[in-house]
């Protein structure tokens, strides 16, 4: 697979609505593999197809580093509770902001074989599902930030 360039804030592709995937072709399979490779290489927990310039309703999420979720044509069908926390985006490197999201969500999607399934996510997984699904409709987390977007300082801990 390959690592793709991540589109950054200001790129018009990030503000467009994505099209549904009708079938999983070899090109879609390659895209999914590339998205996973790109997400891991960027140390992200989620990536949506428009972030790599493809206007398809596909997201990949892995909040643990060991359990990747591939969601094709995802639809959030249930939301419960509320959580507010720091949120960032691979399309806005080095930035973050406080965003309120549901504490728990249920999403209906298709896997890479176009089999429909449900996924229930809580806490970080719920946040990631909401964040990535927003991308598919042309929305960024900055639209939901409470207060200001701020710089994230990373410390280099070499032991």
**Tokens matching residue 23:** 């079938």
28 three-class SS:
helix
Measure the CA–CA gap between 129 and 157, rounded to whole angstroms. 30
Measure the CA–CA gap between 133 and 153, rounded to whole angstroms. 27
| 158 a catalytic residue | no
Catalytic residue among 132, 143, 148, 155: 132
**Tokens matching residue 67:** 């359990």
103-135 burial, b if ≥16 CB within 10 A, otherwise e? bbbbbebbeeeeeeeebebeebbbbbbbbbbbb
Using CB atoms within 10 A of its CB, is residue 145 exposed (0-12), middle (13-18) or buried (19+)?
middle
List the catalytic residues: 132
């Amino acid at each position: 697979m390959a690592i793709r360039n991540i589109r950054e804030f200001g790129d018009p592709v990030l503000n467009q609505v994505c099209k549904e995937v009708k079938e999983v072709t070899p090109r879609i399979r390659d895209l999914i593999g590339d998205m996973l490779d790109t997400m891991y290489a960027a140390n992200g927990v989620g990536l949506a197809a428009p972030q790599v310039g493809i206007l398809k309703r596909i997201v990949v999420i892995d909040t643990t580093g060991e359990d990747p979720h591939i969601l094709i044509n995802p639809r959030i069908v249930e939301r419960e509770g509320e959580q507010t926390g720091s949120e960032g985006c691979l399309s806005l490197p080095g930035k973050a902001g406080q965003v309120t999201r549901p504490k728990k969500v249920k999403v209906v999607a298709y896997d890479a074989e176009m089999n429909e399934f449900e996924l229930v996510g809580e806490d970080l997984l719920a946040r990631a599902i909401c964040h990535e699904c927003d991308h598919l409709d042309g929305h960024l987390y900055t639209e939901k930030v409470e207060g200001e977007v701020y710089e994230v300082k990373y410390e280099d801990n070499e032991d």
